[in-house]
Amino acid sequence: MSTAGKLIREILLNSQKGKTEEYDLLLNRLIDPATPSKTLKNYLRGLTDCMSVISKNTESLITVIMKMDWLNKDEDVIKAYQNLLVNLMSANTNYSHVGLNMLVKQFLPDKNGLPMVDKQLKVDVELRRKHEQQFIYIHTALSDTCQLIPLTPVLLMPVLVKLFPFYKVDTYIQSCYIKNLLQITQYIPDMRQEILQLIISKLMKLDVLSPRHDLSDIVDSEDEELFEMEEDGEKGEEINELVKEKEIKHKEADCLDILMEMLLNYIFKTLHPNGIFDLESSKKLYWELMNVFEKIILPTYECSHIQFIMFYLVSFKPILADGMLDYLWKIVQNPNTPIIFRQSAVSYMSSLLSRALYIPILTVISCLDLMVAWLHCYLDNLSEDKHPDNILHGTFYAVSQAVFYVFCFRNTELFQSKKGYKWAEALNFQRIVTCRLNPLRHCLPIVVSTFSSYSRRHQLAFCDTIIQRNNRCMIPVVNSATGLAETNFMLKLASFFPFDPFLLPRCGKLINPIYRVYQGEVSDDTHDSGVSDTGVSINSLLSQ
């Protein structure tokens, strides 16, 4: 034991006997900013040597140690403090809780010390560097603690959840916290899925508060149709500038953009640990995020952007995209899954097939074959009820709309091959659109009219008569099970396309290169097909 250790041991033992003068002096010197670094370092090293003497009678000492401003001291003092803290937490579980709370709180910079340079809170470079260096010290302490205490992940996770900043807190503070949470996954990989789930659940709050219609008010309602057309160069640049301006004015969306960009960059670095794509690392992260997707993203109806995390993740390798499509299709096929989840899964599936530039046409054909075969099988097993229960058949309508939507989006590629027409003819669209379940009545008008136009052009199905009849019969349908009136419009509310155009400018730099903008035509055959002026875009549906 060092000389300082012997001295402090004697002080602690005397305090337990009621002699507290030197003990109180020790406490004051530990917390006094004027205490010389050399003296403070000796105190900390001496305390480390006296772990066996620290007891319930010295709780005031633990309180002082946890309140010390150690991050702003000399490096020798910081190392001595880290060593003391790790030994203290490993000696007593109660101290572990207090110590972990103290460390995690340091991930949240004091907002009173943050200079506001502009509206986006660009923190002074020197202050940012100071914070980053302090974070390194904190992670060193956490890493050392994890090596000594196997239960650290179990003790740490509740602390990370409890101290996660409120969504209205300054963006810089939130970004610091999330950046440090992601850093923890580097040395405690077993916590990665839980940490990602925590981050995504918090970002979901920002996403729900940043609805698509709020960010796309800058475009005319006609430009917000489900099938958006390419803008010409001059107009496109003008809209991009307006989006950026709108983004700055929308605090939640701006914060979401910054934090999502951080998460997307983390995904890229995880998939490319040495600058080269690593399949094994990718598979592990894929399954972790898939679990998060199933628990948080898939059941959430109002989100507009957070789901693009999956869109980006599976873009790096065909096996990842195929895996996600297979996962979604299994949910759709599972009769034990609630209908709302099956509808959501098929919406994700159709939107991914349509919007992802990295999905090859052969994959699209395979998926359309699966969906159409499922529809025909469903019709083969349909009971002879005179009045089908429209809610009960919700999955059928969702799959039907998915088929129509993908067919419209990838129409040009589908007919480029010599066998394209024969393949499409074998799908027997006519049977689907004329069946007594009448899927054209329960799909979005813009999808129905565009599909009708394409199918008429290729003589695959003739929908005009059915559409005209449906428009004349827009009356409430009574659900036989509940006795409640369900209108055609209400059924359409359950349909959505999660990968509608991405409106966040920072993340857009990563998403846009892999994103397909609709290049075909949007049918407006009001006179020929009977489509009325009540057709609305998916964005306005989601805003209801």
**Residue 327 exposed, middle or buried by CB count within 10 Å (0-12, 13-18, 19+):** middle
Confidence label for 331 from pLDDT (cuts 50, 70 and 90): very high
| Secondary structure percentages of the chain, helix, strand, coil, to 5 | 65, 0, 30
pLDDT value, residue 114: 59
325 contacts 353 by C-beta, under 8 angstroms? yes
Q: Which of the two residues, 320 and 2, has the higher pLDDT score?
A: 320
Residue among 458, 448, 474, 442 at smallest CA distance from 529: 448
**Highest mean pLDDT of the ranges 19-23, 30-34, 274-278, 364-368:** 364-368
**CB proximity list for 98: less than 8 A, separation 6 or greater:** 62, 66
Question: pLDDT tens across 110-158, in order?
Answer: 766 555 444 344 567 888 889 999 999 999 999 999 999 989 999 999 9
pLDDT-wise least confident of 89-93, 120-124, 225-229: 225-229
Q: What is the CA radius of gyration of the chain?
A: 30
Angle at which helices 3-16 and 37-48 cross, to 10°: 70
Question: pLDDT tens across 34-70, in order?
Answer: 999 999 999 999 999 888 888 767 788 999 999 999 9
Confidence label for 385 from pLDDT (cuts 50, 70 and 90): low
pLDDT value, residue 91: 84
- Domains of the chain: total: 1
449 within domain boundaries: yes
330 within domain boundaries: yes
25 within domain boundaries: no
pLDDT value, residue 233: 44
pLDDT-wise least confident of 8-12, 120-124, 251-255: 120-124
Give me the mean pLDDT over the 215-238 stretch.
47
Give me the mean pLDDT over the 485-508 stretch.
69
Question: pLDDT tens across 152-192, in order?
Answer: 999 999 999 999 999 888 999 999 999 999 999 999 999 99
Give me the mean pLDDT over the 85-99 stretch.
89
Confidence label for 249 from pLDDT (cuts 50, 70 and 90): low
Domain range enclosing 479: 205-543
Confidence label for 222 from pLDDT (cuts 50, 70 and 90): very low
Q: Which of the two residues, 491 and 145, has the higher pLDDT score?
A: 145
192 within domain boundaries: no
Q: Is the pLDDT of residue 529 over 50?
A: no
Confidence label for 484 from pLDDT (cuts 50, 70 and 90): very low
pLDDT-wise least confident of 101-115, 145-159, 341-355: 101-115
Tell me what the pLDDT averaged over the chain comes to. 83
92 within domain boundaries: no
115 within domain boundaries: no
Give the helix/strand (H/E) hosting 491. helix 488-492
Half-sphere exposure of 265 (CA within 13 A, CB side): 13
Question: pLDDT tens across 391-401, in order?
Answer: 788 899 999 99
User: For residue 524, which amino acid is it?
Assistant: D
Q: Is the pLDDT of residue 293 over 60?
A: yes
Q: Is the pLDDT of residue 382 over 50?
A: yes
240 within domain boundaries: yes
pLDDT over 90, % of the chain: 55
Give me the mean pLDDT over the 224-246 stretch.
45
Give me the mean pLDDT over the 358-380 stretch.
96
Number of H helices, E strands in the chain: 28, 2
Question: pLDDT tens across 418-477, in order?
Answer: 888 999 999 999 999 999 888 998 888 889 999 999 989 888 888 888 888 888 876 554
Q: Which of the two residues, 416 and 198, has the higher pLDDT score?
A: 198
Residue among 439, 467, 446 at smallest CA distance from 227: 446
Q: Is the pLDDT of residue 345 over 60?
A: yes
**CB proximity list for 278: less than 8 A, separation 6 or greater:** 271, 272
387 contacts 476 by C-beta, under 8 angstroms? no
Cα angle, residue 15 at apex, residues 10 and 20 outer, rounded to 5°: 115
Q: Which of the two residues, 246 and 469, has the higher pLDDT score?
A: 469
171 within domain boundaries: no
Q: Is the pLDDT of residue 104 over 50?
A: yes
Name the pTM for this structure.
0.85
* Angstrom distance (rounded) from CA 254 to CA 505: 9
Q: Which of the two residues, 23 and 4, has the higher pLDDT score?
A: 23
Give me the mean pLDDT over the 520-544 stretch.
40
Q: Is 145 helix (H, G, I), strand (E, B) or coil?
A: helix
